[in-house]
A and B are shown apart, each in its own frame.
Chain A
Amino acid sequence: SAVISQKPSRDICQRGTSLTIQCQVDSQVTMMFWYRQQPGQSLTLIATANQGSEATYESGFVIDKFPISRPNLTFSTLTVSNMSPEDSSIYLCSVESLAVNEQFFGPGTRLTVL
């Protein structure tokens, strides 16, 4: 199994500002995933982050809005840029255990944009 921590756990931000969310894993992993979970909605994949290459973004998500860094095999950041109230959501990072196709999730970052 993998233990994942995220910082911050929650934040309240002003419109137009940016927030960087950190994700730390206790073991080395190839792929890390960033999800968004809006109130009452399912988890939606934002992008997949591989170490040493550009992140792969899903339809509807762009690098300018959600830049991602992946400096090593245990760490990643997601930035939510130029925030608006519509960005209020829980942001989750996860990693996959390829041996069992199981994903491990971090506790999430609850973002509120005023």
Chain B
Amino acid sequence: SQKIEQNSEALNIQEGKTATLTCNYTNYSPAYLQWYRQDPGRGPVFLLLIRENEKEKRKERLKVTFDTTLKQSLFHITASQPADSATYLCALGESSGDKLTFGTGTRLAVRP
């Protein structure tokens, strides 16, 4: 089965800097990879999806890369703000309509 690794240690950065979070997987490359944001006491909120044939995807201050050779996705938040503080989860999907496999998430703290 697929194993997903996200840094369990919290990432603390200064406001205005770029936050970079890592998601590594161990087995076969998924059809697509997603990133979610989860705030305490709330369900995850979808942010970005990147497919296996895409190397990079952007949305406003967010950027996701997907390297199937390294079996890794990087999630970047540029010009970070304290409001970006949350836990970020990556999730792998094998095909459309199939279940997602989630990582444990990395907590991001942006200090003013």
User: Which A positions have Cβ atoms within 8 angstroms of B?
Assistant: 4, 31, 33, 40-45, 48, 58, 92, 94, 96, 98, 100-108, 110
Contact = CB atoms under 8 A, between A and B. Distances in A.
B99 interface: yes
B97 A98 contact: yes
Given A41-B104, A102-B34, A102-B49, A33 B99 contact: yes
Contact of B99 (A45, A100, A106): A45
Contacts of A105: 43-45
B34 A43 contact: no
24 contacts: A40-B104, A41-B104, A42-B102, A42-B103, A43-B44, A44-B102, A45-B100, A92-B43, A98-B97, A100-B49, A101-B49, A101-B93, A101-B96, A102-B34, A102-B46, A103-B34, A103-B44, A103-B46, A103-B91, A103-B100, A104-B46, A106-B43, A108-B41, A108-B43
A6 to B, nearest CB: 8
Interface of B: 4, 32, 34, 41-46, 49, 89, 91, 93, 96-97, 99-100, 102-105
A94 B97 contact: no
Contacts of A94: 43
Contacts of A92: 43-44
Nearest to A100: B49
Contacts of B44: 43, 92, 103, 105
A96 B34 CA distance: 13
A56 to B, nearest CB: 9
Contacts of A42: 4, 89, 102-105
A98 B99 contact: no
A106 B49 CA distance: 19
Given A42-B105, A94-B43, A48 B99 contact: yes
Given A41-B104, A43-B91, 6 more contacts: A42-B89, A43-B102, A94-B43, A101-B32, A103-B100, A108-B41
